[in-house]
């Protein structure tokens, strides 16, 4: 599998849940939902659909997995939500156990060898392993592929 990085990130590097004010208040963050006023479903919808169509599994850190697991199971019936609920999910956490992972298709990666586990996933044939909004998981993915650079994507618009 190849790595796909997908974040909602502010220009100053904040990676925080974009959905709503109450969604992710960790660390005293008071600006949840910051991206929604600027989200254009006509522009972003096809890009997100294309990325999800090539994604074979998701890789999350604990915080992002907990936020997603609280949101997506209740949205069944929407094609994007259905895809989120059925796709395999891998979780990097030192505090969660496999029994904590109640969102369907979720698997805990071994915390003592996270880099090795991500390398094993990458070695599998198939589509993309998408790191969706997890700074921790993104760092693990970067370390699992030393010397790689992520090219700019012109679909994001002009700089």
CB 5 within 8 A of CB 131: yes
Query: Burial code of 13-46, b = ≥16 C-beta within 10 A, e = fewer?
Result: eebbbbbeeeebeeeeeeebbbbeeeeeeeeeee
Band (pLDDT 50/70/90 cuts) for residue 7 is: confident
Nearest to 138 by CA among 59, 50, 66, 24: 59
Q: What is the pLDDT averaged over residues 28-42?
A: 79
All domains in the chain, ordered by first residue: 2-10+18-148 (3.40.430)
Mapped onto helix, strand or coil, the DSSP state of residue 119 is helix
In 72-134, alpha helices (H): 79-86, 114-123
Query: pLDDT digits over 80-136, tens only?
Result: 899 999 999 999 999 999 999 999 999 999 999 988 998 899 999 989 999 887 665
Distance CA 79, CA 40 (A): 18
Is the distance from CB of 118 to CB of 144 less than 8 angstroms? yes
Alpha carbon distance 123, 109 (integer Å): 15
């Amino acid at each position: 599998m190849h790595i796909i990085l997908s974040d909602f990130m502010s220009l100053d590097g904040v990676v925080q849940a974009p959905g709503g004010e109450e969604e992710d208040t960790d660390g005293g963050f008071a600006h949840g939902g910051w991206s929604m006023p600027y989200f254009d479903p006509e522009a972003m919808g096809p890009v997100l659909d294309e990325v999800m169509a090539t994604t074979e599994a998701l890789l999350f850190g604990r915080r992002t997995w907990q936020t997603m697991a609280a949101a997506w199971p209740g949205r069944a019936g929407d094609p994007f939500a259905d895809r989120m609920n059925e796709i395999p999910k891998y979780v990097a956490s030192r505090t969660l156990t496999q029994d904590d992972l109640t969102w369907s298709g979720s698997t805990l990666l071994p915390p003592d060898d996270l880099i090795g586990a991500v390398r094993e996933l990458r070695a599998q044939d198939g589509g993309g392993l998408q790191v969706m909004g997890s700074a921790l998981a993104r760092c693990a993915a970067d370390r699992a592929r030393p010397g790689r650079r992520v090219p700019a994507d012109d679909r994001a618009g002009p700089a």
